[in-house]
Amino acid sequence: MTIPFEMSDVLDGLDLFNAHRFFDAHEVLEDVWRTAPPDQPTRLHLQGLVQMAVAFHHWSSGNAVGAHSVLKRGLRNLDGAESSFSWIDFQRLRSDGELWLRYIESTCSANREREGQIEDRIEWRKENRTEDSTEHVSRDVRPDLPKILVRR
């Protein structure tokens, strides 16, 4: 089978991802994805890589809901990706992605809880006319951004 795209383009996309240039990584990897044969698993696996980049671009832009949604789909599309790119450590990438899914879920949950607490305090202050006290909602420590590692 002839591969219709340049592996150097895939590597360029991975380098951009690892440099946390997620929008640029998505652009490069999406160009590669477009050239992949539609009936091959490689295309789905490339889409998963694109979605990983998009997810972390969403996160870096403050869109936690979008990040979570796209990250979940990206991880699903990376199932079996070792068959297309045996030289990429997908086990580590999927593990890091799952960790980020849990982190985003806990962050969104903490934000919803905090918003509810703020609404409750506003209502309480209206009823009791007292000064606001500040409360801190703790969150899990943010994991490191994932890297897409190449096996040597």
Under a CB-based contact definition with an 8 Å cutoff, are residues 121 and 132 in contact? Answer: yes
- 150 forms beta bridges with 88
CA distance 114 to 97: 25
3-state DSSP call for residue 88? Answer: strand
Topology adopted by domain 7-126: Hyaluronidase domain-like (1.10.3450)
Best CA proximity match to 93, nearest among 134, 146, 140: 146
pLDDT at 132: 43
Q: Which residues contact 29 (CB under 8 A, 6 or more apart)?
A: 10, 13, 17, 46, 49, 50, 53
- 88 forms beta bridges with 150
pLDDT at 141: 82
The pTM (predicted TM-score) of the whole model is 0.79
Under a CB-based contact definition with an 8 Å cutoff, are residues 53 and 25 in contact? Answer: yes
- Scanning 19-78, the segments in alpha helix (DSSP H) are 22-35, 41-60, 64-77
pLDDT at 35: 93
3-state DSSP call for residue 150? Answer: strand
pLDDT in tens, the chain (152 residues): 455 678 999 999 999 999 999 999 999 999 999 999 998 999 999 999 999 999 999 999 999 999 999 999 999 999 999 999 999 999 999 999 999 999 999 888 766 655 555 554 555 555 655 444 333 333 558 899 999 999 87
